[in-house]
Amino acid sequence: MGAISSEQTLAAKLRQAREEAGLTQERLAQALGVSRELVALWERGDRRPSSYQLARLAAVCGVEESSLLSPGPLRPLEGLGRLIGEEEARELQPEARQELLGFLDFLDAYARFLEEVEGESLPAGGRPPRALEAREGLLTDLRQASSQALRVRAHYDLGQDALPDLYTFLDELGVLVYKAHLPPEADLWGAFYRHPRLGAAVLVNVNATPGRQSFTLAHELAHFLYHGRLPGILCRRQVSQGEPYWEVERFANAWAAHFLVPGKALKEQARRLGALTPEGVVLLAGHFRASYTLLLYRLANEGLLAPEKVREWSRLSPGALARRLGLEAFSWEGGPREQPASPLELGLRRYPPSVLARVRRAVLEGRLSPGEAASLLDVDVPLLREELLAPPEPGDQRELWELEGALDFTSPGRKPRRPSALEA
């Protein structure tokens, strides 16, 4: 019997990698931007993928490229190779590299916690509803950005005005949001990663303005809905035409803009104001609970404001404009979230509420020790005890006194509910 050729070895490895990643030939072809017939030719050994196609294929399937080309088992990607290409990883600043590795390490540790402590069977969650998934390949058509954004708002009954807090909203969708402190020179706003056991996870750079953080969250939500077949995407300040995922990033930007501030609703609100002024933009920002700067650009996107006005009015202080209108708390621009001075100051604020609630409950129920919880969340035990495990502090009773007379009733047709064992 003749020796098996290197082409046959590669063909068999390609099929094995695809099948172990749970992808059909059609799905893999869509993720790579090629035809299904070409994928079939690769797997039969009749054609060989180019070096670029092979690198993309390895990333999509989550395996080391070198293991596709040599005998032996396939090797899963490790370290930053799971999220970005090796060349891109080498160009990162050490601080950014450390934060991204911390993100990936936490996801692995949290997956083990869910399996071993919570008894969950993974993979689970972190997938978009079938009704919202892109039907064909990776959605990159800018002409669909507005209609798709409205479709998502309608699916979640969000209307066309102000959105809920996006950190909380993504957490409720099962998208794990991790906060990182990335240096300005890293030129990174966030990342999307498809964890093999947890599903969709998002990293957001909190060393950015609240307006940029909200835009990043909406941008990563677009990746979750339409680009979840990709293994990972870094959200950078500049992505040049022709770079990998350039069209994907461009679509996510357009979708995020329409999701945060729908064009039709913006035009209706702008018409009610009459002639646009900087103060009027502040009122629009308050209506949509979006940043003043975002509103300037959305008005320009919709042809309601000239580009030179965007440049001129962007130099003004939105806080001062708001105070002129008697709006003392301009929280949607200044932001209630404090920007940490360093990664160490983030502490438990890195993690979404659902993660902290699960870990706290596991410790209080004796299924996880404080030391294990501190290791999982990468904090020391005293901080964990002080911020997560301490009993609730008593609150101000004034509001209770003010509201109890008005709200102390049972809705018609409802019987008073007895306390459960957990509330006792």
In this prediction, residue 1 has a pLDDT band, given cuts at 50, 70 and 90, of very low
Q: What is the pLDDT of residues 69-116, one digit of tens each?
A: 888 888 877 778 778 766 677 777 878 888 998 999 999 999 999 999
| CATH classification code of 89-260 | 1.10.10.2910
Whole-model pTM over 0.85: no
Q: Which residues contact 246 (CB under 8 A, 6 or more apart)?
A: 239, 240
Of all residues in the chain, the percent with pLDDT exceeding 70 is 89
For position 172, what pLDDT does the model report?
93
Q: Where exactly are the structural domains of the chain?
A: 6-75, 89-260, 263-334, 352-389
What CATH class does 6-75 carry?
A: mainly alpha
In this prediction, residue 334 has a pLDDT band, given cuts at 50, 70 and 90, of very low
Average pLDDT in the chain:
86
For position 323, what pLDDT does the model report?
85
Residue 145 contacts residue 255 (beta carbons within 8 Å): yes
- Give the angle 21-22-27 at the CA atoms, nearest 5°: 100
